[in-house]
Amino acid sequence: MLHADANDYRNHYLLPRMLAMLGEVADKAVLDLGCGEGGYARELARRGARVTGVDGSARLIEVARQRARAEGVDVRFVHANANALPEAASDRFDVVVAPMSLMDVEDYRGSIREVQRVLRRGGELVMSITHPCFSAPLSEWIRDADGSLRVFAVDRYFERIAWPQKITAAFHSQVLRRHRPLEDYMAAPLECGLRLGEFHEPSVTDEELRLSHRFRKLTRIPYFLFMRWVKE
């Protein structure tokens, strides 16, 4: 949880872009899919949305409820898996927002089917994921002798695989990372009849570069992918 609070990518790069894509959310029914500790959900509620947060971790749902109460923000949090949303009625939500969560689900197709079910007609899925073209099981920066970045190498791209990894020193234990090729991320929404409305592989602005030196890598390759899907 503390990792999310202090993470430069989340706070200065991912969250602002997601909020910009969502635009005006006042009075909209929003489902935050994979809500984690609830940071996105609380911000959307502060902007006037009627928010339901869902996560597969009971511990994170507990933390999200505590934080919402502490900040005086009204969000309904539900412990459920993304591919089984028993408390969510069909055609209920104007927006499903899935920030940096759908690349971690085991059943991506099932999760997209549930998203399609709970969205009203004309509703939108707005999602961000790690870019699958640059997050394969073997992918890393190759550096010159002085430590400067030379090229980014990728291998085993076509493998659909999960593996444990300690993402950062701030984590006490490993997390389960998953990889699937880009065609999987595209195929499931198309099979469900969703229409692709936006597709972004963002770089980085000069202002963002001043906020974190780590962002300089984003001038070379896209770490993240943002998409908007529409239920017609």
pLDDT of 88: 74
* Beta-strand relationship, 175-179 and 76-79: unpaired
Give 83's Cβ-side CA count (13 Å radius). 10
Answer whether residue 79 is part of any domain. yes
Q: Would you give per-residue pLDDT tens digits along the chain (232 residues)?
A: 445 778 999 999 999 999 999 999 999 999 999 999 999 999 999 999 999 999 999 999 999 999 999 999 999 999 999 999 977 788 899 999 999 999 999 999 999 999 999 999 999 999 999 999 999 989 999 999 999 999 999 999 999 999 997 766 665 667 889 999 999 999 999 999 999 999 999 999 999 999 999 999 999 999 999 999 999 9
- Parent domain of 198: 2-131+181-231
DSSP string, 114-142: HHHHHEEEEEEEEEEEE-GGG-SSEEEEE
Q: Of 116, 87, 101, which Cα lies nearest the Cα of 38?
A: 101
Q: Is 9 exposed, middle or buried (0-12, 13-18, 19+ CB in 10 A)?
A: middle
Q: What is the pLDDT of residue 167?
A: 63
Report yes or no on 148 lying in a domain.
no
Task: Examine residue 176 and state whether it is found in any structural domain, yes or no.
Answer: no
Asked whether residue 150 is domain-assigned, the answer is no
- Which pLDDT belongs to residue 3? 57
Q: Domain containing 110 — which CATH number?
A: 3.40.50.150
**Domains contained in the chain, number:** 1
| 166 located within any domain | no
Answer whether residue 139 is part of any domain: no
User: Is there a domain that residue 26 lies in?
Assistant: yes
Confirm whether 219 is domain-assigned.
yes
